[in-house]
């Protein structure tokens, strides 16, 4: 009997330990007790204003899992109130209190909620094709000729592609298409497996005629279109409206590329991670970026020994677009440059 009671007490104590929060919320220095939201604010900016660890934003609002995926919208003019009376601080919106914004000229409507991160930093990456797999490239339309038998074509010109019948069915002139060129392969730095190919975005086009040879009129171009370039229907633009939060599961990833073909980047740089939907990554996830530990050679009494220092936390990245096997993230903070091969993981 005594043994059974001991086991039960042990189980109860273990349950209580796991029920406790792993770490108390640490407020940022100077976190305001009241703050009026203004146009230009972002969820990340507010998170950084209130918390030392911005990815703990849901805990400050005491959101459940469903609310994180469908975030509590915050609008310009609302007043945020920081309540520090309980064991843990909590942020709320002052009930029935909204400050009137000054009558300056604004492009966006007054009732537009603030975004998760600065939209200007990621807008091109939301609509442009970034990653294509082998199957997508094989199914894409291929440019086989240009207007007046030219070598290059630009906005306003007509281009001719392989038949779109299999890809579009009976819809001949509907959606906008995107023109791209297959870029470098994205190889996993750990397994060396090719996870996809970066797509070099060239422009947009609209179908004009359909048949054995399909015609397109180029709407916009960032550079000249060439024979051999590819076309795919433009995807629906994703709206980045996710609350910054840490993954619930353990994620271990590596930076396999930095957008733009450079080897390193800092804050506001876009990095490609070697993990995607299949690995549990979703838009809104915040991951820690580590700086790989340097290797040191120690010579002592005529002998040489090599040591590798442990990885050190460098900054945070915000995942904003996810594919099956890779994800794109914006570097939100970094003490040192982020380089290809750096580790990214759950905080």
Residue pLDDT tens, the chain, 347 long? 444 434 333 333 333 332 334 678 999 999 999 999 999 999 999 999 999 999 999 999 998 877 787 666 789 999 999 999 989 999 999 886 555 444 444 334 456 888 888 887 887 777 676 788 888 888 899 999 999 999 999 999 999 999 987 554 434 445 789 999 988 888 888 888 999 888 888 999 999 998 889 999 999 998 999 999 999 888 765 555 688 999 999 999 999 988 877 788 999 999 999 999 999 999 999 999 998 777 888 888 888 888 888 888 999 999 998 988 999 999 999 999 999 989 999 99
Residue 127's pLDDT is what? 65
Domain boundary among 201, 233, 265: 233
- Structurally, the chain folds into a number of domains equal to 3
Q: Which domain holds residue 42?
A: 25-102+110-114
Q: What is the distance between the alpha carbons of residues 284 and 246, in angstroms, rounded to a whole number?
A: 8
CB 78 within 8 A of CB 39: no
Q: Is residue 10 part of a domain?
A: no
pLDDT at res. 135 = 81
SS3 call for 271: strand
Place of tokens 């380089």: 339
The domain spanning residue 307 has which CATH number?
A: 2.40.10.410
Same domain, 257 and 229: no
Res 44: pLDDT: 94
Tell me, yes or no, whether 204 and 259 share the same domain: no
**pLDDT value at position 27?**
95
The answer to whether residue 121 sits within a structural domain is: no
pLDDT at 298: 85
Q: Is 226 inside any structural domain?
A: yes
Q: Are 228 and 262 found together in one domain?
A: no
Task: Tell which of 87, 114, 141 closes a domain.
Answer: 114
User: Cα(69)–Cα(63) distance, rounded to whole angstroms?
Assistant: 10
DSSP summary character for residue 58: H
In a domain, 266, yes or no: yes
**Is 239 within a domain?**
no
Distances (CA, A) of 307 to 294, 295, 336, 343: 8, 6, 22, 19
Do 164 and 214 fall into the same domain?
yes
Residue 272 and residue 313 in one domain: yes
pTM value > 0.85: no
- 97 & 146 share domain: no
Q: What is the pLDDT of residue 290?
A: 95
Give a yes or no: residue 172 inside a domain. Answer: yes
Both 263 and 208 in one domain: the answer is no
Considering the domain architecture, whether residues 203 and 297 belong to the same structural domain is answered as: no
What pLDDT sits at residue 17?
31
Tokens of 101: 């914004």
38 within some domain: yes
DSSP structure string for 32-44: -SEEE--TT--HH
Residues 94 and 138 in one domain: no
Burial of 120 (0-12, 13-18, 19+ CB in 10 A): exposed
Indicate whether 68 and 137 sit together in one domain. no
> Which of 191, 206, 233 corresponds to the end of one domain?
233
pLDDT of residue 96: 64
Which token pair is 273?
């991670």
169 located within any domain: yes
């Amino acid at each position: 009997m005594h043994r059974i009671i001991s086991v039960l007490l042990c189980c109860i104590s273990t349950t209580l330990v796991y029920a406790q929060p792993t770490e108390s919320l640490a407020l940022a220095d100077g976190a305001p007790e009241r703050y009026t939201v203004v146009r230009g604010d972002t969820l990340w900016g507010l998170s950084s204003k209130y918390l030392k660890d911005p990815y703990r934003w849901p805990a400050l609002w005491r959101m459940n899992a469903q609310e994180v995926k469908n975030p509590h919208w915050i609008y310009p003019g609302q007043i945020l109130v920081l309540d520090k009376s309980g064991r843990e601080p909590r942020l709320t919106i002052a009930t029935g209190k909204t400050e009137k914004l000054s009558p300056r000229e604004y492009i966006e409507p007054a009732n537009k909620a603030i975004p998760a991160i600065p939209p200007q930093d990621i807008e091109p990456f939301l609509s442009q094709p970034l990653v294509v797999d082998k199957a997508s490239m094989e199914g894409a339309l291929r440019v086989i000729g240009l207007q007046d038998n030219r070598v290059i074509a630009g906005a306003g010109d007509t281009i001719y592609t392989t038949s779109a019948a299999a890809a579009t069915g009976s819809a001949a002139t509907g959606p906008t298409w995107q023109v791209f060129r297959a870029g470098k392969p994205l190889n996993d730095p750990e397994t060396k497996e090719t996870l996809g190919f970066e797509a070099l975005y060239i422009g947009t086009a609209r179908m004009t005629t359909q048949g054995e040879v399909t015609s397109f009129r180029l709407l916009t171009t960032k550079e000249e279109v060439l024979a051999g370039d590819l076309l795919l229907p433009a995807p629906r633009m994703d709206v980045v409206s996710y609350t910054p939060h840490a993954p619930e599961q353990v994620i271990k990833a590596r930076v396999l590329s930095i957008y733009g073909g450079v080897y390193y980047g800092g804050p506001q740089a876009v990095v490609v991670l070697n993990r995607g939907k299949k690995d549990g990554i979703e838009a809104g996830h915040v991951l820690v970026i580590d700086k790989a530990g340097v290797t040191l050679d120690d010579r002592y009494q005529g002998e040489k020994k090599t040591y590798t220092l442990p990885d050190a936390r460098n900054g945070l990245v915000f995942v904003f677009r996810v594919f099956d096997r890779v994800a794109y993230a914006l570097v939100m903070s970094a003490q040192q440059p982020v380089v290809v091969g750096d580790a990214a993981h759950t905080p």
